[in-house]
Structure 1
Amino acid sequence: MSIMLATEFINKVNGFWISSIEEDQDRAFWERSAYHIGNIETYKLTGNKEYLEFTQKWCEVNKWKSHPYEGHSDSWTWGYGEEESKAVLFADWHACFQVYLEIYNMGNKEHPEYIEYAKRIIDYQISKDDDSFWWWADGLYMGMPVMVKLYNITGDESYLEKLHQYFIYSVELMYDGEKGIPISESHYKSTAYFGGPYGGKKSVRSRFSDPNQYSHLFFRDASYVYPSKPLPGKLSEVKNFWARANGWVFASLARLLKELSSSWQHYDFYMQIYKDMAHSIVHSQKFDQRGNGFWTQSMLAHSYSTNDQNPEGYETSGTAFFLYGLLVGVNEGILVKSSTENSISSSWNYLSKVAMHDSGKIGYVQPVGGEAGKAAEYGNTQDFGVGASLLAATEMVKYQAQLKGEKNAKWTK
């Protein structure tokens, strides 16, 4: 089976998206932002000015802002942001800040107006005592890289201090591992047991607090912690870990480890969760009859989210994020190549030969939703799925270059 060059993939996929997309692209919400996060990385890699101009225009249309509410900060909330008209602090509205901060950095910090709004929002947020801002798994991808980038720009350690505080809350709320979902109330370090304004622990007595049954994956939010919301029928005994939710988390951890110094006092803590997740991700991968590797919507229930048109349960957004996270680990010397190479090569084949149409369209993207659901269709595409695929491809370019000996490998740790 021939291996597609990642540079060719980027040109086809991004060329199709930029030239063919017809839907409204102006909104600065998470779906659009997720695409532009990937697009900026392709520009940094390729230097293709068309990519930068496409994202720059989006930033300018949005006036380098996010949520449309302009009321006083005392009225800001972080409820579910699309329905909540004052949810300026809802992290899905913060993903765009990653794009603004990147463009600010690429411009040698000559345009402080690009990040003025983002800094005002995040500075207000970290001034609060609350720790429950990231109460659903997706929120980690939307919010965590913003804090990392602001720290790298300003040197202000309060961004990392608050990041860690918020992350502990998320871990204790949703993570099926040693540091997450404590067995008793007394073991909580955050307000996860008592619940913040919009998040709270829903399943205190879970038999999956047993270390022998840890999966080292994240439930979508506290309301999904097993045995809550079980899968139907015979699958009810299988823990339901949504692939895209874990993709958001895994990608955010990879980006944190890539962008922060290993001297940070909590670096090893994040490294361990990342490595444990990587192990679980690799071992939950599914393969079709041709050896293409991917992840089903419910990671441990491979027969869920299938139908006659998609009997394998193909899904692209979670698969692309997992591929990206694994590639970062190998390229940065965090993961051992030999333990991931089959997973990487097979999922790249899925992305480039199964998910990608001849036109460059990315298919089998599960539509917007909050959980594993009906099977994705070959024609389903979405901006966040394209963005995740582009992120994976930028790291695949580096991986393929190392395979050819064009750079010194970092595959020894």
Structure 2
Amino acid sequence: MKNLVGIILLILIFCQGNLCAQQYDEAPSYAEDYAFVTQDGAWCWFSDPRAVYVENKIIGGFVDKQGSIWAFSYDPVNQQKKQYKLKDQLDYDDHANPSVMILPDKRIMIFFSAHGGTTNSPIYYATTEKPVDISSWSKLDSIVPKMPGNLGVCYTNAAMLSGENNRTYLFFRGRNFKPTFIASDDLKNWSAPVTIVVNDSIYGESGRPYMKMTTNHKDKIFFAFTDAHPRDRATNSIYFMMYKDGKLCKANGDVVSESMEHAVMPSQVDKVYDATKTFDKAWIWDIAFDKDENPVLVYARFSDRDNSHSYWYARWTGSEWENHLITKAGQWFQRSNYVKEKPEYECNYSGGVYLDHENPSIVYTSRPINNVFEIERWIFVGGKEKWKTETITSESSRDNVRPFVVRNHKGGQPDVLWMYNYEYPGFRAYNSAIRINQKAKGFSSELNKEAISQVANAVFDWQMKDYKVNRNSCNQGWVSGVLYNGLFDWADCSNNKGYIDFLNKIFSGFSWQVGNRMYHGDDLCVGQAYLDMYAKFKKENMLVPTKARVDWVMANPPAENIDVTKGHSDRWWWCDALYMAPPVYARLYTLTGNKKYMKFAHKEFLATYDHLYDKEEHLFYRDARYLDTKDENGTKVFWSRGNGWVIAGLVEVLKNLPEEDKKYRPFYLQLYREMCEKLIELQGEDGYWRSSLLNKETFPMPETSGTGLFTYALAYGVNQGHLPKDKYMPAVEKGWNALVKAVNTEGKIGWVQMVADKPGKVEKKSVRGYSVGSLLMTAAELYEFLEKK
């Protein structure tokens, strides 16, 4: 019976460990995990296709935040990206994005225009000189459609029909704000423009129908359009027609016009959705067709009652139109200074809904989840269930909008692109990237200067961007103290004036003052970076406040009690303090030459050492509460980050003790080596140290704060010759690889245990300044190692 109980307990422990491992392996797919197609690009949804697969490469286009028009190629095999600027600063407006057409010989043709424009504003187009190669293009040509109206042309959509000897129809919004086309048989000479849709006569000439189209590339073109802009028509409905055998028809084949040369009115064609019955106006998003060439549409509806959006799926069954709700879609996605008295002007800008043209039973949406727009995949299955849903992005830091499914994709290929918004107050004020549903390869962890610089610069840049929106990320507390050490080390190592200026601005804003608590080591930690800046620039205001605090503490030493379980203590009663405070004293010793600083620090350090150091395990307890504590497995509790503080603190002290010092240095070097010997035994094969050093199973997820501090300390030892390279460098390399792996495409390092005092659960999305700092300290050590090498 006892054996059976033991076996059951082992199974439960094993299952718990595997469940935790599975949980962190299946961490959410944040948008930031996905690869960039470009880090500066945007688009609207009325110029299509925006991207097409050609010979397993994605070819497409976008407009950047300078208003320049770009072609791009993306190879999903190696995530290699190429870009070509077609026109510089045409129009800072996301409606100016280009559309793509693939020629029979696989050369690429791109069309685009400005959004606003004037009476004479052109449509531009260019063709690559070689198939599937965007590196060289023909001269940029232009078409100036001569037609009534004084408005600009925009929204290019091209269709080449093999059944008409490769005649190309180029659709766009004309100068009269109506859907218009021109045609060419040689892609050089273009016909006069023809308006294809006009308003029903009762509305006069003022409306502007919005149209989407697609083609089978043989003999059909499918159209979906509205009465007007939803802002202008309370009963804005959705309509369908198709071009077939030279005529315009309804879905059932009934002819509504003998030629595209004769414009049609909405009342003549299929009304797919009738807003007069619901008073929920609509806007078309996409049109495709199934294997039987039956049309499928997706569109958004808007309720004037509460400005709520919803996405709808419409399909022609062969005999009738069906409309199915996909999902509620929140409201507009712009992040602007909205106030109730002055509502959002573009209140119909949904996150987006788009069809997979290779399988139009699949739809991609963008809708707000926990106040962030996320991308989802919806599969139409019919029946009572109707839809199955899959998450593409979740728990993202920023909005993900306007998904587009790459045309001609094959099974298994990444196929969805979307805008990732850093800022989007409006279509003429965006700062966006374009991502793809392929996990990014991430930064290289190779030990060379270029690779180290790339990841370190990205992490530093992320911190500067985060500071703009979260000023409290840089304060006078201990979290920022560790952060500042890393920021300074990398700024100094990389000789980056912008980085140094960033630190100087922050520190000057605090008047170089440390935290408010007079005795508390945590509030002294920021002084380390202040003193490093003083050592570099020799400005007294960088030194005086920290020195004054330390001098006061030494003149008014804290009471003797160091055991926090026996009452209040102002001494270094917790192991973290050995990073926060002693390095400040060691720096003052070096900078002033006054031995009193090191004498005081050493006395206090020894007290903490005697109190918390386990001489059998060569590790520190976090504080007295854990001296006799065991975890559920009967294992001593040694906290990863707590020991990280100690070992990194030892490094900071050793850096500031002269090599010839015989009084203090031997003790710190011996303790450092003892701990390093133990730590390499505890490193996981994946390079991470878990938050509980002796029990990896309880919290098996990666943890980067302890890992960063340990890797930094080991790298320093190898760098200075304190540790044998052949024994310790493999651990350094594994640790660095683990840290780099945790950095996402934005430069944000994740898998950080939040503020704590013991081992605990870690989430992928968590970030704190101490992991940023420890990674940058490690990067600087490795860079110095390579310089010596």
Which band: TM-score by shorter chain? 0.7 to 0.9
Q: One-letter code of the match for 2:530?
A: Y
Answering whether residue 588 of structure 2 is matched by residue 150 of structure 1, we say yes
Q: What corresponds to 1:37 in structure 2?
A: 485
Aligned partners of 1:297 and 1:304 also within 8 Å: no
For residues 456 and 445 of structure 2, what CA distance do their matches in structure 1 show?
A: 17
Aligned partners of 2:647 and 2:709 also within 8 Å: yes
1:128 Cα shift?
3.5
Of 240, 246, 255 in structure 1, the residue corresponding to residue 643 of structure 2 is: 246
Helix, strand or coil at the partner of 2:788? coil
Q: What corresponds to 2:510 in structure 1?
A: 62
Of 454, 458, 481 in structure 2, the residue corresponding to residue 8 of structure 1 is: 454
Aligned partners of 1:320 and 1:385 also within 8 Å: yes
Of 613, 619, 625 in structure 2, the residue corresponding to residue 223 of structure 1 is: 625
Task: Show CA shifts across 1:319-372 (max 9, x none).
Answer: 00000000000001100001112211111111112x111221100010111111
For residues 45 and 407 of structure 1, what CA distance do their matches in structure 2 show?
A: 13
Q: What corresponds to 1:299 in structure 2?
A: 693
For residues 2 and 325 of structure 1, what CA distance do their matches in structure 2 show?
A: 18
Of 382, 398, 407 in structure 1, the residue corresponding to residue 784 of structure 2 is: 398
1:157 Cα shift?
0.2
Answering whether residue 770 of structure 2 is matched by residue 384 of structure 1, we say yes
Of 463, 467, 470 in structure 2, the residue corresponding to residue 17 of structure 1 is: 463
Of 682, 688, 701 in structure 2, the residue corresponding to residue 284 of structure 1 is: 682
For residues 341 and 115 of structure 1, what CA distance do their matches in structure 2 show?
A: 36
1:100 Cα shift?
1.1
The answer for unaligned runs of 5 or more in structure 1 is 69-86, 178-213, 307-312, 409-413
Q: What corresponds to 1:105 in structure 2?
A: 535
Give the structure-2-normalised TM-score: 0.41
More strand by share: 2
Q: One-letter code of the match for 1:283?
A: E
1:383 Cα shift?
1.0
For residues 691 and 455 of structure 2, what CA distance do their matches in structure 1 show?
A: 24
For residues 20 and 166 of structure 1, what CA distance do their matches in structure 2 show?
A: 36
1:129 Cα shift?
4.5
Helix, strand or coil at the partner of 2:581? helix
Helix, strand or coil at the partner of 1:294? coil
Q: One-letter code of the match for 2:495?
A: G
Of 532, 536, 549 in structure 2, the residue corresponding to residue 121 of structure 1 is: 549
Deviant stretches of 4+, over 6 Å: none
For residues 642 and 600 of structure 2, what CA distance do their matches in structure 1 show?
A: 22
For residues 490 and 519 of structure 2, what CA distance do their matches in structure 1 show?
A: 29
Aligned partners of 2:445 and 2:736 also within 8 Å: no
Task: Show CA shifts across 1:246-303 (max 9, x none).
Answer: 001000111222221132212111111100000010001112xxxx211000101001
The answer for unaligned runs of 5 or more in structure 2 is 1-443, 563-570
For residues 674 and 788 of structure 2, what CA distance do their matches in structure 1 show?
A: 28
For residues 262 and 163 of structure 1, what CA distance do their matches in structure 2 show?
A: 18
Aligned partners of 2:445 and 2:740 also within 8 Å: no
Q: One-letter code of the match for 2:788?
A: K
Task: Show CA shifts across 1:116-154 (max 9, x none).
Answer: 121111011122344652111111111011001101111
Aligned partners of 2:620 and 2:642 also within 8 Å: yes
Helix, strand or coil at the partner of 2:470? coil
Total equivalences in the alignment: 330
Q: What corresponds to 2:757 in structure 1?
A: 370
Q: One-letter code of the match for 1:363?
A: G
Q: Radius of gyration: which is bigger?
A: 2
Task: Show CA shifts across 1:185-242 (max 9, x none).
Answer: xxxxxxxxxxxxxxxxxxxxxxxxxxxxx110101011111x23x212xx22x11110
Q: One-letter code of the match for 1:337?
A: K
Q: What corresponds to 2:714 in structure 1?
A: 326
Q: One-letter code of the match for 1:168?
A: L
Q: One-letter code of the match for 2:695?
A: A
More helix by share: 1
For residues 722 and 729 of structure 2, what CA distance do their matches in structure 1 show?
A: 14
More moved, 45-54 vs 162-171: 45-54
For residues 95 and 64 of structure 1, what CA distance do their matches in structure 2 show?
A: 12
For residues 679 and 608 of structure 2, what CA distance do their matches in structure 1 show?
A: 19
Q: What corresponds to 2:404 in structure 1?
A: none
C-alpha change, 1:2 and 1:350, in structure 2 (3 Å) is closer
1:63 Cα shift?
1.4
For residues 466 and 523 of structure 2, what CA distance do their matches in structure 1 show?
A: 25
For residues 27 and 270 of structure 1, what CA distance do their matches in structure 2 show?
A: 30
Show the 5 A alignment for 1:95-244.
95-107=525-537, 109=538, 111-130=539-558, 132=562, 133-177=571-615, 214-225=616-627, 227-228=628-629, 230-232=630-632, 235-236=633-634, 238-244=635-641
For residues 118 and 12 of structure 1, what CA distance do their matches in structure 2 show?
A: 31
Task: Kindly indicate whether structure 1 or structure 2 has the higher relative contact order, using CA contacts under 8 Å at least 6 residues apart.
Answer: 1
Aligned partners of 1:92 and 1:139 also within 8 Å: yes
C-alpha change, 1:20 and 1:117, in structure 2 (3 Å) is closer
More moved, 273-282 vs 121-130: 121-130
Aligned partners of 2:689 and 2:703 also within 8 Å: yes
Answering whether residue 788 of structure 2 is matched by residue 407 of structure 1, we say yes
Aligned partners of 2:518 and 2:553 also within 8 Å: no
For residues 137 and 319 of structure 1, what CA distance do their matches in structure 2 show?
A: 17
Q: What corresponds to 1:89 in structure 2?
A: 519
C-alpha change, 1:124 and 1:284, in structure 2 (3 Å) is same
C-alpha change, 1:351 and 1:105, in structure 2 (3 Å) is same
For residues 97 and 17 of structure 1, what CA distance do their matches in structure 2 show?
A: 20
For residues 267 and 294 of structure 1, what CA distance do their matches in structure 2 show?
A: 29
Helix, strand or coil at the partner of 1:378? coil
Helix, strand or coil at the partner of 1:163? helix
Helix, strand or coil at the partner of 2:574? coil
Aligned partners of 1:365 and 1:380 also within 8 Å: yes
1:27 Cα shift?
2.3
Aligned partners of 2:445 and 2:452 also within 8 Å: no
For residues 168 and 20 of structure 1, what CA distance do their matches in structure 2 show?
A: 39
For residues 98 and 299 of structure 1, what CA distance do their matches in structure 2 show?
A: 28
Task: Show CA shifts across 1:22-60 (max 9, x none).
Answer: 223352011112111110111110111121122111111
Aligned partners of 2:752 and 2:767 also within 8 Å: yes
Q: Supply the RMSD in Å over aligned alpha carbons.
A: 1.6
Q: What corresponds to 1:197 in structure 2?
A: none
Aligned partners of 1:258 and 1:332 also within 8 Å: no
Aligned partners of 2:715 and 2:729 also within 8 Å: no
More moved, 376-385 vs 295-304: 376-385
Aligned partners of 2:639 and 2:758 also within 8 Å: yes
Aligned partners of 1:258 and 1:328 also within 8 Å: no
Answering whether residue 672 of structure 2 is matched by residue 274 of structure 1, we say yes
Helix, strand or coil at the partner of 1:66? coil
